[in-house]
Amino acid sequence: MNANRAAAPSPPPAAWESRRAPGRLALVQEFVNSHAYSGRIDHLADAVAARQWLRDHGVAGANVGPAELRKLKALREALRGALLAHAGHGTCPEELDAELGHCRVLLRAGPEPKLTGAREGSAGFRDGVAAAVTTAAADGTWVRLKACGNDECRVAFWDGSRNATGRFCSAAGCANRMRQRAYRARLTDARTETPPPGRRRR
Protein backbone atom coordinates (compact mmCIF):
# COMPACT_ATOMS: atom_id res chain seq x y z
CA MET A 1 0.00 0.00 0.00
CA ASN A 2 1.34 3.44 -0.94
CA ALA A 3 1.93 5.33 2.31
CA ASN A 4 1.75 8.62 0.44
CA ARG A 5 -1.70 7.91 -0.89
CA ALA A 6 -4.32 10.09 0.78
CA ALA A 7 -6.83 8.20 2.86
CA ALA A 8 -10.40 8.17 1.61
CA PRO A 9 -12.50 10.76 3.42
CA SER A 10 -14.88 9.43 6.03
CA PRO A 11 -18.57 9.81 5.22
CA PRO A 12 -20.20 12.73 7.00
CA PRO A 13 -22.10 11.80 10.16
CA ALA A 14 -25.88 11.63 10.01
CA ALA A 15 -27.57 14.85 11.02
CA TRP A 16 -28.96 13.31 14.22
CA GLU A 17 -25.49 12.26 15.38
CA SER A 18 -24.58 15.90 15.88
CA ARG A 19 -27.73 16.24 17.97
CA ARG A 20 -27.15 13.33 20.33
CA ALA A 21 -29.15 13.07 23.54
CA PRO A 22 -27.30 13.19 26.88
CA GLY A 23 -26.95 10.37 29.37
CA ARG A 24 -29.12 7.30 29.11
CA LEU A 25 -31.44 8.96 26.62
CA ALA A 26 -28.68 8.51 24.02
CA LEU A 27 -29.39 4.76 24.01
CA VAL A 28 -33.12 5.40 23.58
CA GLN A 29 -32.26 7.67 20.65
CA GLU A 30 -30.03 5.03 19.06
CA PHE A 31 -32.72 2.40 19.57
CA VAL A 32 -35.30 4.49 17.71
CA ASN A 33 -32.72 5.13 15.00
CA SER A 34 -31.96 1.43 14.61
CA HIS A 35 -34.48 1.74 11.80
CA ALA A 36 -34.55 5.00 9.89
CA TYR A 37 -36.76 5.56 6.89
CA SER A 38 -35.86 6.20 3.20
CA GLY A 39 -34.55 2.68 2.65
CA ARG A 40 -31.93 2.79 5.37
CA ILE A 41 -30.94 -0.40 7.16
CA ASP A 42 -33.33 -1.92 9.69
CA HIS A 43 -31.15 -3.36 12.44
CA LEU A 44 -34.17 -5.22 13.81
CA ALA A 45 -35.10 -6.73 10.45
CA ASP A 46 -34.79 -10.25 11.85
CA ALA A 47 -33.64 -12.07 14.97
CA VAL A 48 -30.02 -12.35 13.79
CA ALA A 49 -29.76 -8.63 13.04
CA ALA A 50 -31.43 -7.76 16.35
CA ARG A 51 -29.02 -9.94 18.36
CA GLN A 52 -26.08 -8.27 16.63
CA TRP A 53 -27.44 -4.78 17.30
CA LEU A 54 -28.00 -5.62 20.95
CA ARG A 55 -24.48 -7.07 21.29
CA ASP A 56 -23.06 -3.92 19.72
CA HIS A 57 -24.90 -1.94 22.40
CA GLY A 58 -23.65 -3.89 25.37
CA VAL A 59 -26.34 -6.56 25.71
CA ALA A 60 -24.56 -9.91 25.95
CA GLY A 61 -26.27 -13.23 25.38
CA ALA A 62 -29.54 -11.78 24.15
CA ASN A 63 -31.99 -14.51 23.12
CA VAL A 64 -34.21 -12.94 20.47
CA GLY A 65 -36.98 -15.19 19.24
CA PRO A 66 -39.99 -14.17 17.13
CA ALA A 67 -42.03 -12.99 20.13
CA GLU A 68 -39.18 -10.90 21.57
CA LEU A 69 -38.43 -9.42 18.15
CA ARG A 70 -42.06 -8.27 17.89
CA LYS A 71 -41.80 -6.67 21.35
CA LEU A 72 -38.61 -4.81 20.40
CA LYS A 73 -40.14 -3.48 17.20
CA ALA A 74 -43.38 -2.50 18.94
CA LEU A 75 -41.50 -0.59 21.63
CA ARG A 76 -39.30 1.14 19.05
CA GLU A 77 -42.23 2.40 16.97
CA ALA A 78 -44.23 3.41 20.06
CA LEU A 79 -41.23 5.49 21.14
CA ARG A 80 -41.01 7.03 17.66
CA GLY A 81 -44.68 8.03 17.89
CA ALA A 82 -44.05 9.76 21.21
CA LEU A 83 -41.00 11.58 19.83
CA LEU A 84 -43.03 12.79 16.85
CA ALA A 85 -45.55 14.21 19.31
CA HIS A 86 -42.73 15.97 21.18
CA ALA A 87 -41.90 17.75 17.91
CA GLY A 88 -45.51 18.80 17.39
CA HIS A 89 -46.39 16.11 14.85
CA GLY A 90 -49.53 14.50 16.26
CA THR A 91 -50.32 13.45 19.81
CA CYS A 92 -48.49 11.01 22.06
CA PRO A 93 -49.82 7.51 21.26
CA GLU A 94 -51.29 5.29 23.95
CA GLU A 95 -49.17 2.44 22.56
CA LEU A 96 -46.13 3.70 24.43
CA ASP A 97 -47.90 3.39 27.80
CA ALA A 98 -48.88 -0.16 26.87
CA GLU A 99 -45.36 -1.14 25.78
CA LEU A 100 -43.69 0.39 28.83
CA GLY A 101 -46.24 -1.43 30.96
CA HIS A 102 -44.65 -4.73 29.85
CA CYS A 103 -41.27 -3.65 31.26
CA ARG A 104 -39.91 -4.16 34.77
CA VAL A 105 -37.97 -1.40 36.49
CA LEU A 106 -36.14 -1.44 39.82
CA LEU A 107 -35.04 1.42 42.05
CA ARG A 108 -31.41 0.83 43.04
CA ALA A 109 -30.60 2.40 46.40
CA GLY A 110 -27.27 4.04 47.10
CA PRO A 111 -25.62 7.47 47.29
CA GLU A 112 -27.34 8.29 43.99
CA PRO A 113 -30.49 6.16 43.70
CA LYS A 114 -31.50 5.35 40.13
CA LEU A 115 -33.95 3.29 38.14
CA THR A 116 -32.59 0.28 36.27
CA GLY A 117 -33.93 -2.68 34.34
CA ALA A 118 -34.93 -5.71 36.37
CA ARG A 119 -34.11 -8.47 33.87
CA GLU A 120 -31.25 -9.62 31.64
CA GLY A 121 -30.84 -9.96 27.89
CA SER A 122 -33.23 -8.46 25.39
CA ALA A 123 -36.02 -8.09 27.96
CA GLY A 124 -33.53 -6.34 30.22
CA PHE A 125 -32.69 -3.94 27.39
CA ARG A 126 -36.37 -3.02 27.10
CA ASP A 127 -36.48 -2.58 30.88
CA GLY A 128 -33.49 -0.23 30.64
CA VAL A 129 -35.26 1.83 27.99
CA ALA A 130 -38.28 2.13 30.28
CA ALA A 131 -36.02 3.21 33.16
CA ALA A 132 -34.33 5.85 31.00
CA VAL A 133 -37.66 7.22 29.78
CA THR A 134 -39.10 7.33 33.30
CA THR A 135 -36.03 9.13 34.65
CA ALA A 136 -36.02 11.63 31.78
CA ALA A 137 -39.74 12.31 32.19
CA ALA A 138 -39.13 13.08 35.86
CA ASP A 139 -36.22 15.47 35.25
CA GLY A 140 -37.88 17.24 32.32
CA THR A 141 -35.50 16.14 29.54
CA TRP A 142 -37.78 13.55 27.92
CA VAL A 143 -39.70 16.14 25.87
CA ARG A 144 -36.45 17.31 24.23
CA LEU A 145 -35.93 13.97 22.51
CA LYS A 146 -37.90 14.27 19.28
CA ALA A 147 -38.45 12.63 15.90
CA CYS A 148 -38.03 14.49 12.62
CA GLY A 149 -41.27 15.63 11.02
CA ASN A 150 -40.12 14.68 7.53
CA ASP A 151 -42.09 11.52 6.68
CA GLU A 152 -39.09 10.22 4.71
CA CYS A 153 -36.74 10.63 7.67
CA ARG A 154 -38.35 10.19 11.11
CA VAL A 155 -35.00 9.93 12.92
CA ALA A 156 -34.78 10.77 16.61
CA PHE A 157 -32.80 13.89 17.50
CA TRP A 158 -32.02 15.90 20.61
CA ASP A 159 -33.45 19.41 20.71
CA GLY A 160 -30.94 21.44 22.68
CA SER A 161 -32.32 24.82 21.63
CA ARG A 162 -33.21 27.34 24.31
CA ASN A 163 -36.95 27.26 23.66
CA ALA A 164 -37.10 23.59 22.58
CA THR A 165 -39.21 24.26 19.48
CA GLY A 166 -37.24 22.15 16.99
CA ARG A 167 -39.33 20.06 14.61
CA PHE A 168 -36.74 18.59 12.22
CA CYS A 169 -33.41 16.79 12.60
CA SER A 170 -31.53 19.30 10.45
CA ALA A 171 -32.24 22.93 9.53
CA ALA A 172 -30.22 22.67 6.31
CA GLY A 173 -31.61 19.26 5.43
CA CYS A 174 -35.10 18.11 6.36
CA ALA A 175 -36.40 21.50 7.53
CA ASN A 176 -35.33 23.12 4.26
CA ARG A 177 -36.79 20.29 2.18
CA MET A 178 -40.11 20.56 3.99
CA ARG A 179 -40.21 24.34 3.44
CA GLN A 180 -39.56 23.82 -0.27
CA ARG A 181 -42.25 21.14 -0.43
CA ALA A 182 -44.77 23.44 1.28
CA TYR A 183 -43.83 26.29 -1.10
CA ARG A 184 -44.37 24.09 -4.18
CA ALA A 185 -47.72 22.94 -2.78
CA ARG A 186 -48.82 26.57 -2.30
CA LEU A 187 -47.81 27.38 -5.89
CA THR A 188 -49.80 24.42 -7.17
CA ASP A 189 -52.85 25.50 -5.16
CA ALA A 190 -52.55 29.06 -6.42
CA ARG A 191 -52.40 27.92 -10.06
CA THR A 192 -55.44 25.72 -9.54
CA GLU A 193 -57.48 28.53 -7.99
CA THR A 194 -56.49 31.29 -10.49
CA PRO A 195 -58.43 31.18 -13.82
CA PRO A 196 -56.40 31.55 -17.06
CA PRO A 197 -56.16 35.08 -18.56
CA GLY A 198 -59.21 36.06 -20.58
CA ARG A 199 -61.51 33.59 -18.83
CA ARG A 200 -63.81 34.30 -15.99
CA ARG A 201 -64.27 32.01 -13.07
CA ARG A 202 -67.84 30.75 -12.97
Kindly report the CATH number assigned to the domain that includes residue 24.
1.10.3300
Residue 200 confidence (pLDDT): 55
Which residue stretches of the chain have pLDDT < 50?
A: 1-12, 182-185
166 inside domain: yes
Question: Does 4 fall in a domain?
Answer: no
CB-based contact 69:76 (threshold 8 Å): no
- Domain boundaries, position 164: 16-193
CB 90 within 8 A of CB 84: yes
d(CA 166, CA 170): 9
**Model pTM?**
0.79
In this structure, is residue 115 part of a structural domain? yes
In a domain, 200, yes or no: no
- The verdict on residue 47 lying in a domain is yes
Q: How many domains, in total, are found in the chain?
A: 1
- The confidence score (pLDDT) of residue 179 equals 55
Residue 148's CB: how many other CB atoms inside 10 A? Answer: 28
Q: What is the pLDDT of residue 36?
A: 63
Q: In the chain, what are the helix, strand and coil shares in percent, each to the nearest 5?
A: 50, 10, 45
So what's the pLDDT on residue 174?
83
Give pLDDT tens digits for 90-128.
Answer: 777 789 999 999 999 999 988 888 999 999 999 999 999
Q: Has residue 80 been placed in a domain?
A: yes
DSSP-assigned states of every residue in 33-76: TTB-STT--BTTSSHHHHHHHHHHTT-TT----HHHHHHHHHHH
* Stretch (H or E) spanning 114: strand 114-117
Q: State residue 194's pLDDT score.
A: 58
DSSP per residue, 66-89? HHHHHHHHHHHHHHHHHHHHHTTS
The pLDDT score that the predictor gives to residue 55 is: 95
